[in-house]
Structure 1
């Protein structure tokens, strides 16, 4: 899962990638200047990679899953499920056996880790009991500031000769949902790269931004986050050292014939 790129002093722009190790642990890899990677080092959402990593120093980033990555060692490997496999069999096999939590459980784990002075839990997967809405608000600035634009426009020694300047998404998107162990709903910012790309595509095919925003909302609420059609899991993570949880990705396989709404409450 990749977040939408952000300006970076050292790397022009970076994304944070959340993934799973071969032994079933969550991992966060950064900084990755994804669009500026050399040919042959780009990877897709459902693709294994081999890469040299190092644990981030706890004083810089106390989150348990955070690792720095040497982007020059990235070797893309096998992809899970082809675009023609609508069952998501391989992806299910990988994720179905991972722990599923509620937001309260993750928040309590973060608090307990911090109190015990140990690396903090900062990534988890939840099964919402209800998807309530998707909303958006204006960004503080619709365009990059001069300082951000300078970072994005820096020349690089390695990578492609030319990459177009990153487009800023002028809205922040939020998903409203419920978990089975708390009556009050949650509202989390959605930072997945894919929602930014969807918005850009919808703008190109719409007469107005308002129409594009409605298309984004419909795409998620009527399809990708539709609990009747899909077994929705949300991948959530914290931002830096703050206990602010964000949605950084989602896993939404089509429901199988033997699945019903009751499975939404089967938190393990």
Structure 2
């Protein structure tokens, strides 16, 4: 595929496998948008934005593991090396990574030190680490009200509930946190993953009980995944230099040696 056009405003064509979709947030200039972390066909991380699912055609609404093609140019407002400003009209789903290939795909991309990644100028990573603890905390009333206000504003936009729309209709009342150990020590991180939030809301609906849904999350994300093997999709904050956030939780069978693609 074409290499990154550093400093160029010309659009380039590329393809990538979707790894993480961050929870949607409102943008003054782009409406409701999500930030996408993906790995391109050369094994390099890319951060794709802004993507507004409300304005994507149904056939363009991609999910984790989808292989998409897209046109992009170098971001001007985000200097992180992986960031790409996408022409979302160009997005096309080309296929999907086979289920049997996903564990090895993640394992080849995994690293054990976020400090080493930061020192190399990277801001996205798959982290192979030891999960020490998983728990939930209720959102503060102020934060929950703020997020509900964001969603209320979105609902007032025309055709917000158009067919295939993927923006959540309610704020998640809990935040989910991990305590984990990597090569640099022990850390605590809040999970920003859209799918993790959606999973809790779905389980609460299916089980008919918030307590039952939280118990299910604790067992699935805190016991089963760490026992079977999992990795954390990590990304740095745009404004808080060097601060890593948990962007996603992914099942991955453990391997003897982890290396970059």
For the superposition of Structure 1 and Structure 2, which TM-score range results when normalised by the shorter chain? 0.7 to 0.9
2:224 corresponds to: 223
Distance 1:236 1:122, change over 3 A: same
Cα 1:77–1:220 change in 2 (3 A) is same
Q: What CA distance in whole angstroms lies between the structure 1 residues aligned with 2:47 and 2:92?
A: 17
Once residues 192 and 169 of structure 1 are traced to their aligned partners in structure 2, the CA distance between those partners, rounded to angstroms, is 11
1:177 match: 180
Output one character per residue of 1:90-144: Cα deviation in whole Å (capped at 9) or x when no partner. 224433333513233234x2xxx7xxxxxx4211121103432233241433244
**Alpha-carbon contact 1:17-1:29 (below 8 Å) kept:** yes
Count of residues in correspondence between the two structures: 236
Q: Which residue of 2 is the match for residue 106 of structure 1?
A: 117
Answering whether residue 248 of structure 2 is matched by residue 252 of structure 1, we say: no
- In structure 2, relative to structure 1, the CA distance for the partners of 1:198 and 1:21 (3 Å cut) is same
Counterpart residue number, 1:166: 169
* Partner SS for 1:61: coil
Q: CA deviation at 1:17?
A: 0.7
Partner of 1:62: 79
**Structure 1 residue 222 displacement after superposition:** 2.3
Which one has a larger percent strand, Structure 1 or Structure 2? 2
TM-score after normalising by structure 2: 0.79
Q: Residue 201 and residue 79 in structure 1: after superposition, are their counterparts in 2 closer, same or farther (change >3 A)?
A: same
Give the drift of 1:8.
Answer: 2.4
- The aligned counterpart of 1:192 is 193
Alpha-carbon RMSD across the aligned residues, in angstroms, is 2.7
Quick one: which of 91, 97, 100 aligns to 1:74? 91
CA-to-partner distance for each residue in 1:62-104, whole Å, 9 max, x for gaps? 211111111111110121115xxxxx3x224433333513233
Q: Deviations over 1:139-195 (max 9, x none)?
A: 4332445466324522269x947857632112221111111442xx21111111111
What secondary structure sits across from 1:213 in the alignment?
helix
Give the Cα–Cα distance (whole angstroms) in 2 for the partners of residues 199 and 102 of structure 1: 29
- Higher deviation after alignment, 67-76 or 199-208: 199-208
Question: Runs of 5+ in structure 2 lacking a partner?
Answer: 1-19
2:110/2:126 contact within 8 Å kept: yes
The whole-number CA distance in structure 2 between the counterparts of 1:153 and 1:248 is 28
C-alpha displacement of 1:2: 0.6
Task: Normalising by structure 1, report the TM-score.
Answer: 0.77
SS in 2 for 1:248: strand
Distance 1:153 1:23, change over 3 A: same
Q: Which runs of 5+ in 1 are unaligned?
A: 83-87, 114-119
Distance 1:169 1:146 in 2: 13
In the other structure, the counterpart of 2:232 is 234
Q: Tell me the distance in 1 between the aligned counterparts of 2:245 and 2:144.
A: 21
Contact 1:7 1:152 in 2 (8 A): no
* Contact kept in structure 2, 1:234 and 1:247, CA below 8 Å: yes
